[in-house]
Amino acid sequence: MAENNLTKIDSAIARTGLYGTVDEPTFSGVLSFMRRNYTKDLRGVDLAVNGIPLDLATSYRPGTRFGPHAIRVASAEVASMKPYPWGFDPFEQLGVIDYGDCYLDVHNPMTIHEAIADHARHILTSGARMLTFGGDHSMTYPLLKAHAEKYGEPLPLIHFDAHSDTWPDSSPSSLNHGTMFYKAVRDGLIDTKHSVQIGIRTWNDNFLGIHVVDATWIHRHGTDAVIGEIERLVGNRPAYLTFDIDCLDPAFAPGTGTPVCGGLSTAQALAIVRGLTGCNLIGMDIVEVSPPYDHSQITALAAAHLGCEMICLLAKRKVDGLL
Each residue's pLDDT tens digit, 270-299: 999 999 999 999 999 999 999 999 999 999
pLDDT for residue 43 = 97
pLDDT for residue 6 = 59
Query: Rounded to an integer, what distance in angstroms lies between the CA atom of residue 309 and that of residue 279?
Result: 13
Instruction: Report CA 244 to chain centroid distance, whole Å.
Output: 8
Give residue limits of the domains in the chain.
Answer: 3-319
Residues whose CB falls within 8 Å of the CB of residue 122, separated by 6 or more in sequence, listed in order: none
Q: Which CATH superfamily is domain 3-319 in?
A: Ureohydrolase domain (3.40.800.10)
pLDDT for residue 16 = 87
Angle at CA of residue 187, ends 217 and 142, nearest 5°: 85
pLDDT for residue 24 = 86
Q: Please say whether the dihedral angle defined by the alpha carbons of residues 75, 81, 85 and 88, taken in this order, is positive or negative.
A: positive
Residue pLDDT, tens place only, 137-180: 999 999 999 999 999 889 999 999 999 999 888 777 788 888 89
3-state SS, 17-59, equals: CCCCCCCCCCCCCCCCHHHCEECCCCCCCCEEEEEECCCCCCC
Q: Is 114 exposed, middle or buried (0-12, 13-18, 19+ CB in 10 A)?
A: exposed
pLDDT for residue 166 = 92
pLDDT for residue 266 = 98
pLDDT for residue 7 = 65
Cβ neighbours of 37 (radius 10 Å) = 21
Closest to 291 (Cα-Cα) out of 59, 100, 68, 49: 68
Query: Rounded to an integer, what distance in angstroms lies between the CA atom of residue 158 and that of residue 164?
Result: 12
pLDDT for residue 4 = 60
pLDDT for residue 233 = 97
Q: In order along the chain (323 residues), what is the average pLDDT of each group of 10 residues? A: 63 90 87 96 98 93 96 94 94 97 95 97 98 96 97 95 90 83 95 98 93 98 98 96 98 97 98 97 98 97 98 95 86
